[in-house]
Structure formats: C-alpha cells, structure tokens
Amino acid sequence: MKAPRVAIVALGKAAWVAGVVAEYDAEDDAIRVDARAVACVRAALGAEEAERFVAAAVAHERHHRAFPRDGEAAAHAAARRACGVDPRRFEAALRAARG
C-alpha cells in the first residue's frame, strides 16, 4: 500500500473548536495535521514534543486509513504502539489553548 501524503495545514476554526487536530482524507489519500495544534503543543511543551505530537497524529490517522471501521480508542492504541507516546499527553496543552 502506497504511503499517504502528509501535510501540516490550517484545518480551520470549526476543526479547532471541535477539537479535531488531524484528519484523513480518503479521497485525496492525505493526512492533514492542524498547524495551530502543532504550534500550541510547541509553545506549551517544546519542539521535541511537537515532533512527537505530529508523529502520533500521523500514526493515529494511518490507523483510520488502514482500518476505517475501528474507533478512536483503537487509533489511539495504534499511535501508542507506533510512537511510544500516549496521545492524551497533549490534550491538556490543547485544551488550555482552546480555552
């Protein structure tokens, strides 16, 4: 299976308010990570954590791509296995930034 395209882009205000930090677009076979979320994690936790955040978000979306019927818990578990990072570690920083 070909690798999906990955981009860090502005997902927009609706995604931000809804707490969506990344998405998989099956039509484009593209994973998009929200630039605002990456900037927030970097500001709160530093550049290395921002890199881990992106890796975990991509692993999460790759799981959705490979197993479209799996839910969020399975995608989080896959990201943990792939990156050794619990995606929940970023949630406090994102929640604080979201206000």
Q: What are phi and psi of 46, to 5 degrees?
A: 105, 170
75: contact with Zn ion by CB under 5 A: yes
79: contact with Zn ion by CB under 5 A: no
8: contact with Zn ion by CB under 5 A: no
Task: Considering the complex, state which of residue 28 and residue 72 has its C-beta at the smaller distance from Zn ion.
Answer: 72
Q: Within positions 15 to 74, which residues make up the interface with Zn ion, using CB under 5 A?
A: 72
Non-local CB neighbours of 58 within 8 Å, separated by 6+ positions: 6, 22, 31, 33
Task: Considering the complex, state which of residue 17 and residue 47 has its C-beta at the smaller distance from Zn ion.
Answer: 17
